Amino acid sequence: MIDASSPGPDKGAGSPRGSWGGRTGQDWALDDPSIGDVVVSEDDIGRRIDELGARISADYQGRPPLLVGVLKGAFVFMSDLARAISLPVEFDFMAVASYGSSTRTSGVVRIVKDLDTDLAGRHVLLVEDIIDSGLTLAFLLRNLAARHPASLAVCALLAKDSAQTVPELAYVGFRIPPDFVVGYGLDIAERYRNLNCIRRYAGPVG
C-alpha cells in the first residue's frame, strides 16, 4: 500500500516543480545543439505566473472569466495560470495555424479548431503563449469580438520586442528579444514543448 503523504524513496520533499528524485527530467536537452541559452528560467516563470494570477483574480472579482487558450503553445502556461487564479474560471480552446514547421510566420492565419462555447455576454480572457508579429493576435481579437463577449482581454506569457502589430495587452509575463524561442509549450515542428523553461532556438532556421 502506497502512503500518499510520504514522498517515498525516490521523490524528495520540497523538490522543485517538474523534478523527480532530484533530477529535473531535462537531461535530454543538455546534448541537443539546437537548444540555446535560457531566456526565462523555470523559477522566474513560476513567480511571474503567481503575480499574474493575483492580478487577474483582483481584476475579475465578481465576474469570473472564461479562459480561452490558443493551442497548442499556450496549454502549459494556461494550466499553471488557471491554478494561480483564485476564481471559478471556465476553459475553452481554439487552435490556429500560421507557422507550420517553420520559424517564420506565413502571415496567413487559419482556424484549425474553433471554440465550443458561446461567448455572448461572457468575460473572455484570451491566453496566448507568445506575441510575435501580432498578426495572429489581431486576427483572433477581431474574430472573438464579433461573437459579442461582455469583455475581451489578452494575457500573454511572452511578447517580443520586435512585435509591431500588437493590440493592447492587459497582462504580459515577459518582454523578450526577437529570437525564436522554445520550451514551456512553445515548439519548433512539435519539438521542445516539454522544456521547463524558455530557451533560445539555435537550430536550423526554416
Residue 43 is a catalytic residue: no
Q: Which three cell numbers stand for residue 71?
A: 493551442
Helix (H) or strand (E) holding 181: strand 181-182
Q: Which three cell numbers stand for residue 91?
A: 476553459
Rg (CA), the chain: 18
Distances (CA, A) of 15 to 7, 59, 102, 194, 204: 10, 32, 36, 18, 35
Q: Of residues 132, 161, 179, 187, which has the active-site annotation? A: 132
What are the residue numbers of the active site? 132
